[in-house]
Chains A and B, each alone.
Chain A
Amino acid sequence: MDKKVEEIIKQTQLQLTDLKLQKPVFGGRSGKHSEHLQPLLDEMSEVFRSDPSAEW
């Protein structure tokens, strides 16, 4: 893991804004999620749930 993110970004024309100014998006670790997760889980488990007694 020698390549540092900064090292990589420095080799590009991308700017890295100051991380201290960023307001981290927390909540996921304690089960508070965005509106995207439940639809993802519903889609992923659709076949699994179509017949709960089944072995696929």
Chain B
Amino acid sequence: MYGGGTTFEGIKAEKKDDPVKLAEFEARIERGEKIEPTDWMPALYRKQLIRMIEQHAHSEIIGALPEGTWITRAPGFKRKMALMAKVQDEVGHAQLLYSAAETLGKSREEMIDDLINGKSKYSNIFNYPTFTWADCCFISWLVDAGAIVNQLANAKGSYGPYCRALDRICAEESFHLKYGHHCVIYLAAGTEIQRQMFQDALNRWWPPMMHFFGPSDKISVHSDTLMKWKVKMGSNDDMRNQFLDMYVPKIRELGFVIPDPKLNKNEETGRWEYTEPDWEEFKRVINGDGPCNKERLAVRRTAEERGRWVREALRSPKTVYQMPLA
């Protein structure tokens, strides 16, 4: 469900790839055909894809925690069952994405260990606390909306297993977005307490939401290679602008005030203007120093440790680990 904010630090060309194979590989992508696990691929392509899909999978499994904070308190049957199904989907999407990344040669367990040990990153936005039910509704609607902008773009990428996973995830997430919007409409049309609860949530969550798509193009490491290989499908600012185009009107329609007086669409350029997000905070949060980073990883580690006796009892020498096929 969540993507974006993927950081491709310091991409340097790997050791020389076989030029003939590289030409065939690039011609295939040029024709719009997908790369499959058994194809030859440049080392850099494999490395960046593992990083990207792994970060997306981690974002899903960690993303289940801030919304999961409200799973036992969802008000009424409709919200309770929807939130149970939605948080379950996040775990389900993590399972799909880890499988897609496993086809590139890294086992799920190594990926989860790297997550827990802080070696592997995940989306900035899940390191913030969900103080109220309205915070949870903000995630269900707008963070989901942001993730879908990224995922629809990535679904047109070049790696087959990731596209298959994203096709399924995007189909399943249409319910998430509508559920989230439905919740926020009821808050907007509700009592003064409900309206204020969401306005407060919007004030808290807008800055991390602007960080969600990653550093602005001016300062982010820009890689033509990853664009050519359809690993990176659009610039961070493109994604951010798409999101603002689609959702700022919907937020304002409900009578809420977005906490950035400069936020405005420049009709000539067709681009949104806004207060420059604080990219220092973004780096700090991505690298482990946000309000809930420690709790998220501690909870994930506890789930792994408490489940170890189950996995060890299930493990049998006969059914040894194998990379998924597709």
Contact = CB atoms under 8 A, between A and B. Distances in A.
Interface of A: 43-48, 50-51, 53-56
Contacts of B76: 48, 56
Contacts of A55: 186, 190
B191 A43 contact: no
Interface of B: 70, 72-76, 79, 133, 183, 186, 190-191, 193-194
A56 B191 contact: no
Given A47-B75, A56-B76, 7 more contacts: A44-B72, A47-B70, A50-B193, A51-B194, A54-B190, A55-B186, A56-B194
Given A44-B73, A46-B73, A51 B79 contact: no
Given A54-B190, A54-B193, A48 B75 contact: yes
A2 B190 CA distance: 50
Contacts of B73: 43-44, 46-47
A47 B133 contact: yes
A53 B193 CA distance: 10
27 contacts: A43-B72, A43-B73, A44-B72, A45-B75, A46-B73, A47-B70, A47-B73, A47-B133, A48-B75, A48-B76, A50-B133, A50-B193, A51-B190, A51-B191, A51-B194, A54-B190, A54-B191, A54-B193, A54-B194, A55-B186, A56-B76, A56-B79, A56-B133, A56-B183, A56-B186, A56-B190, A56-B194
Contacts of B186: 55-56
A24 to B, nearest CB: 28
Contact of B191 (A46, A47, A48, A53): A53
B199 to A, nearest CB: 15
A41 to B, nearest CB: 11
Given A47-B133, A50-B193, A56 B75 contact: yes
Contacts of A44: 72-73
